[in-house]
């Protein structure tokens, strides 16, 4: 029989005569949470050396991205850009190539903007202050809390989706976790009860439980949770109802026709506008709507071309989804247009194409 771990012995028994209030319940999490985390924390590359720069890069990468997907990107990024000065001076195309595949490219641009700002201010390092961190581009209350607590040991909360879910279930809250007022109140409650000397493990423990026990999709693994004895959602059978989220608006659908234009062993790409969706990234030429072959040739203004249909593809963004059809078009001469003609090797090593086009990129690589 497996020995009971220490956190099993630390499960809190709620007094029958008086139900714990919110902050008492949160305070009761401390000992089992810390004990559980020290025993069950996953080995992750950014945890080995929780230096401010490494924590910052990992937290930005982890936004909207799975942990397993981030690992190789983080290690490659650290090797290429090991410090803030390296990040500040890297050419944007090189930075976006390092970020290629992670998506949400504004995150990478904000990283560089912050690094440039810190170098310009002759600081060269992230400030050891929650309030000062929040003033930097791309750093909100969660990321500031994560850097401050994990890298500097400052006792401030780091409330992300995982923490919102765990704390809502523990406290039995049916408030909408997508409301900023709910998040702010949770931050206040956690700050009031979190241990001053173990803020790093406390925040990481809550995030870890949300990631691998009180999971975002599917049923929570309550039998493995160190907080089970004080979790109202578990006790009252409400884990299917909590957390509460406002339903998302339906995404807008857009039709696109993507062209892989080849001429003399090179393929055409172009740079998107500096603002809007996928700003400043390279893309394959494309047009609105689903065009047939004759319409495409007319649009390109060419007659000498061999056209091969490609598989349809779909890409989902947060508020819009692209429904794409594609064509490989082999040209006798280059058409007019602001295109950059590159080799397949150039695409592999130099130019960053967003994941929206991966169904077509892989046909080249």
pLDDT bracket for residue 275 (50, 70, 90): confident
pLDDT on residue 279: 83
The owner of tokens 């209350």 is 141
Does residue 52 lie in a domain region? yes
Determine the pLDDT at residue 12: 55
Classify residue 64: in a domain, yes or no.
yes
Do 226 and 331 reside in the same domain of the chain? Answer: no
> Which pairs count as long-range contacts for 231-236, CB under 8 Å and 24+ apart, including other chains?
231/169, 231/170, 232/25, 232/169, 232/170, 232/171, 232/172, 233/168, 233/169, 233/170, 233/172, 234/169, 236/172
Among 202, 235, 268, identify where a domain stops: 235
What's the CATH number where 352 sits?
Answer: 3.90.79.10
> Residues 6 or more apart from 210 whose CB is under 8 A from it?
160, 161, 162, 163, 165, 166, 216
Are 335 and 217 contained in the same domain?
no
pLDDT in tens, 112-169: 999 999 999 888 899 999 999 999 999 999 999 999 999 999 999 999 999 999 999 9
Domain that holds residue 130: 7-235
Instruction: Give yes or no for a contact between 294 and 275, defined as CB atoms under 8 angstroms apart.
Output: no
Residues 277-287 as b/e (b if ≥16 CB within 10 A, e otherwise) read: bbebbbbbbbe
What is the pLDDT at residue 289?
Answer: 95
Q: Are 171 and 236 in contact (CB under 8 A)?
A: no
Same structural domain for residues 196 and 47?
A: yes
Domain CATH number, residue 158: 1.10.340.30
pLDDT above 90: percentage of residues in the chain = 75
198 catalytic? Reply is no
Are residues 346 and 197 part of one domain?
no
Report yes or no on 1 lying in a domain. Answer: no
pTM of the full predicted structure? Answer: 0.86
* Domain presence at residue 133: yes
**Does residue 174 sit within a domain?**
yes
In this structure, the answer to whether residues 278 and 226 fall within a common structural domain is no
Q: What is the pLDDT of residue 3?
A: 42
Under a CB-based contact definition with an 8 Å cutoff, are residues 257 and 290 in contact? yes
As a three-state string, the secondary structure of the chain is CCCCCHHHHCCCCCCCCCCCCHHHHHHHCHHHHHHHHHHHCCCCHHHHCCCHHHHHHHHHHHCCCCHHHHHHHHHHHHHHCCCHHHHHHCCHHHHHHHHCCCCCCHHHHHHHHHHHHHHHCCCCCCCCCHHHHHCCCCCCHHHHHHHHHHHHCCCCCCCCHHHHHHHHHHHCCCCECCCHHHHHHHHHHHHHHCCCCCHHHHHHHHHHHHHHCCCCCCCCCHHHCCCHHHCHHHHCCCCCCCCECCCCCCCEEEEEEEEEEEECCEEEEEECCCCCCCCCCEECCEEECCCCHHHHHHHHCCCCEEEEEEEEEEEECCCEEEEEEEEEEEECCCCCCCCEEECHHHHHHCCCCCHHHHHHHHHHC
**The tokens 């607590």 sit on which residue?**
149
Last residue of a domain, one of 235, 260, 275: 235
Number of domains comprising the chain: 2
**What pLDDT is attached to residue 57?**
97
Quote the pLDDT of residue 14: 57
Does one domain contain both 90 and 201?
yes
The per-residue pLDDT for 365 is 64
Does one domain contain both 225 and 304?
Answer: no
- Which of 212, 239, 213, 240 lies closest to 225 in space, CA to CA? 213
- Asked if residue 291 belongs to a domain, the reply is yes
Answer with the one of 176, 204, 235 that is the final residue of a domain: 235
Q: Are residues 152 and 208 in the same domain?
A: yes
**Is residue 41 within 8 Å of 53, Cβ to Cβ?**
no
Are residues 128 and 175 both part of a single domain? yes
Closest among 171, 273, 158, 302 to 231, alpha carbons compared: 171
Residues 196 and 302 reside in one and the same domain: no
Q: Which of 2-16, 202-216, 267-281, 300-314 has the highest mean pLDDT?
A: 202-216
- Of 17, 19, 59, 321, which residue is the catalytic one? 59
**Same domain membership, residue 205 and residue 277:** no
Same domain, 268 and 218: no
Residue 246 lies in a domain: no
Structural contact between residues 44 and 74, judged by C-beta atoms closer than 8 angstroms: no
């Amino acid at each position: 029989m497996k020995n009971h771990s220490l956190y099993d012995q630390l499960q809190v028994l709620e007094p029958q005569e008086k139900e714990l209030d919110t902050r008492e319940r949160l305070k009761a999490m401390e000992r089992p949470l810390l004990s559980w985390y020290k025993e069950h924390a996953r080995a992750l590359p950014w945890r080995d050396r929780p230096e401010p720069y490494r924590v910052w890069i990992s937290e930005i990468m982890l936004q909207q991205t799975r942990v397993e997907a981030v690992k190789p990107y983080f290690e490659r990024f650290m090797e290429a850009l090991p410090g803030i000065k390296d990040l500040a001076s890297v050419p944007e195309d090189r930075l976006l190539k390092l970020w290629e595949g992670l998506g949400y490219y504004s995150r990478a641009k904000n990283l560089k903007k912050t690094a440039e700002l810190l170098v310009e201010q002759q600081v060269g390092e992230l400030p050891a202050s929650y309030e000062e961190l929040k003033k930097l581009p791309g750093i909100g209350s969660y990321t500031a809390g994560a850097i401050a607590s994990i890298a500097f040991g400052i006792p401030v909360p780091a409330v992300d989706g995982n923490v919102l879910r765990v704390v809502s279930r523990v406290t039995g809250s049916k408030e909408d976790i997508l409301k900023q007022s709910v998040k702010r109140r949770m931050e206040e409650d956690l700050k009031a009860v979190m241990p001053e000397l173990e803020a790093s493990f406390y925040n990481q423990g809550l995030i870890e439980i949300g990631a691998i026990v009180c999971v975002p999709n599917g049923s929570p693994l309550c039998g493995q949770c160190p907080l089970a004895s004080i979790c109202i959602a578990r006790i009252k059978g409400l884990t299917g109802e909590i957390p509460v989220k406002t339903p998302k608006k339906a995404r807008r659908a857009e039709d696109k026709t993507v062209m892989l234009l080849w001429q003399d062993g090179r393929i055409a790409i172009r740079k998107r506008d500096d603002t809007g969706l996928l700003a400043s990234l390279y893309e394959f030429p494309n047009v609105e709507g689903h065009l047939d072959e004759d319409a495409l040739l007319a649009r390109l203004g060419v007659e000498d071309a061999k056209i091969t249909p490609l598989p349809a593809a779909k890409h989902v963004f947060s508020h819009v989804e692209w429904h794409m059809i594609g064509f490989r078009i082999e040209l006798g001469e280059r058409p007019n247009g602001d295109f950059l003609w590159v080799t397949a090797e150039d695409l592999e090593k130099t130019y960053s194409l967003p994941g929206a086009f991966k169904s077509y990129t892989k046909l080249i690589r």
